[in-house]
Amino acid sequence: MVTGYGAVTPLGHSAGETWTAMLAGRSGVDTVDVIDVTDLDVRIGGQVRGFTPGRYMPPMVSRRADPYAQFALAAALEACEHAGLVVDDRLAPRVAVVIGSGYGPVGSIYRAADRLRAKGPRAIGPFTQITTAMDSAAGEISMRLGTQGPSRAQSTACASGADAVGAAMRMISTGEADIVLAGGADACVTTIDLAGSGNARALSKRNDDPAAACRPFDAHRDGFVMSEGAAVVVLEAAEVAERRGASALAELTGYGASSDAHHWTAPHPEGRGARLAVEAALRDAGITGADVDYVNAHGTGTLLNDATEAAVLRKVLGSRVTRIPVSSTKSMTGHMIGAAGAVELVASIQALRTGDVPPTINCHDPIDPGINFVPHKTQHHEGMRIALSNSFGFGGHNAALVVRAV
């Protein structure tokens, strides 16, 4: 059961703020100002603006923690508050933490390298090797909340957040934990990452119109938008949530994962891996494509991904795909890499709970006119019970989650 969630995104510093902005069709993409972008071909991104670490953590933590870990901790604290979860001595040994990230604390790594070159070895702090590790977000959350169950990192590129949630689901089903804080985080709006992804021709270059840059499923799309953020959900065994008196927000019923085994940056041309992941998630949930009421698509706005995903949805969902809404919230958040799958799971749950489906903004000329990509404006759909959330990443990593209304 999902009993709580939190988020920090380019649209807001909470899950509520993010959801409100999504329903309004507001873009969080703008000209990047956290770094000098003068010499870059791509100068736009989805930044978490105005974030104040002091609201969520003491100075000693914010000084050592990379922004990706700060975002993750803030999202975890909100999720716990939302779930009414207090990790006491009785619960602690059965509470786990799994945080996914595609890039990890890259900003801290780059800064440490610059400091080493400029000032030598003595300028490197004694915690550098810890705070520049991929598991630092999970560690910060565990130490802050006092969890004593397993805490670990998950890294599968853009599928990291979804895979972390899937791993958490398995931990509960096998009895390894009763409660898991799971999600994803990334803070990779950096010079190196914008330059590298830009040179790979993966990013949109609509520098003069940032809000219109991310155009999932639009015929004139030209790449994704690099963004940052985090989301964490509280997953609990049903009997544990009931014993705590916690309200279930949704039931996570299916998870599937696969690998393309094809190319580092391009999806398999027939969507083989993506299809395997979606089919596995549906099978795990005990349903078929005919049961799906909403799809929160991976929908990055790249030429190959969107076309492949649309074809996969047609194959797996059949005629159902032409009768249900399929939207990409990345059109507003940009691509938060490891955080994306977790943020999009939250959006999927909110859609089931409210009947409101967030739009795919900037989708003026859909690549498949037979699919309702929810262009431009939020749509209301009564009676939605099951949502599918897709996450496909560089390196051929694929993950899909199925969530059911309660």
**What local confidence, expressed as pLDDT, does residue 263 receive?**
84
Same domain, 260 and 189: no
Same domain, 215 and 255: no
DSSP 8-state code for residue 12: B
313, 326 in Cβ contact below 8 A?
Answer: yes
**pLDDT of 21 higher than 80:** yes
Total of domains in the chain = 2
Is the CA virtual torsion 334, 203, 99, 309 positive or negative?
positive
Same domain, 372 and 267: yes
**What local confidence, expressed as pLDDT, does residue 262 receive?**
86
Distance CA(101)–CA(137), nearest Å, equals 9
Residue with tokens 């030209």: 222
DSSP 8-state code for residue 49: T
**What local confidence, expressed as pLDDT, does residue 83 receive?**
98
Q: Which of 80, 158, 188, 363 is catalytic?
A: 158
- 266: buried, middle or exposed (CB in 10 Å: 19+, 13-18, 0-12)? middle
Same domain, 151 and 257: no
Helix residue ranges per DSSP H, 200-339: 238-244, 272-285, 303-317, 330-333
Residue with tokens 């939605």: 384
pLDDT band at 269 (very low <50, low <70, confident <90, very high): confident
Q: Which domain holds residue 285?
A: 250-405
CATH number for position 297: 3.40.47.10
Give the pLDDT confidence of 348-406 residue by residue, as tens digits.
999 999 999 999 999 999 999 999 999 999 999 999 999 999 999 988 999 999 999 99
Angle 73-181-69 from CA coordinates, rounded to 5°: 25
- Strand, helix or coil at 257? strand
**pLDDT of 151 higher than 90:** yes
Distance CA(50)–CA(56), nearest Å, equals 13
Distance CA(176)–CA(303), nearest Å, equals 41
User: Residue 26 corresponds to which tokens in the numbers above?
Assistant: 């507001």
**pLDDT of 24 higher than 80:** yes
Share of the chain above pLDDT 70, in %: 100
Give the pLDDT confidence of 57-92 residue by residue, as tens digits.
999 999 999 999 999 999 999 999 999 999 999 999
Same domain, 254 and 239: no
Segment 94-119 mean pLDDT: 96
Same domain, 156 and 264: no
User: Which of 194, 229, 244 is the endpoint of a domain?
Assistant: 244
Segment 88-113 mean pLDDT: 97
User: Which of 195, 212, 244 is the endpoint of a domain?
Assistant: 244
Same domain, 47 and 143: yes
Segment 222-242 mean pLDDT: 97
0.75 cut: is pTM over it?
Answer: yes
Same domain, 186 and 282: no
**pLDDT of 265 higher than 80:** no
Computed over every residue of the chain, the mean pLDDT equals 97
Distance CA(136)–CA(134), nearest Å, equals 6
**188 belongs to the catalytic site:** no
Segment 22-42 mean pLDDT: 97
Same domain, 237 and 259: no
**pLDDT of 268 higher than 90:** no
**What local confidence, expressed as pLDDT, does residue 71 receive?**
98
Is the CA virtual torsion 325, 204, 211, 11 positive or negative?
positive
User: Which of 229, 244, 259 is the endpoint of a domain?
Assistant: 244
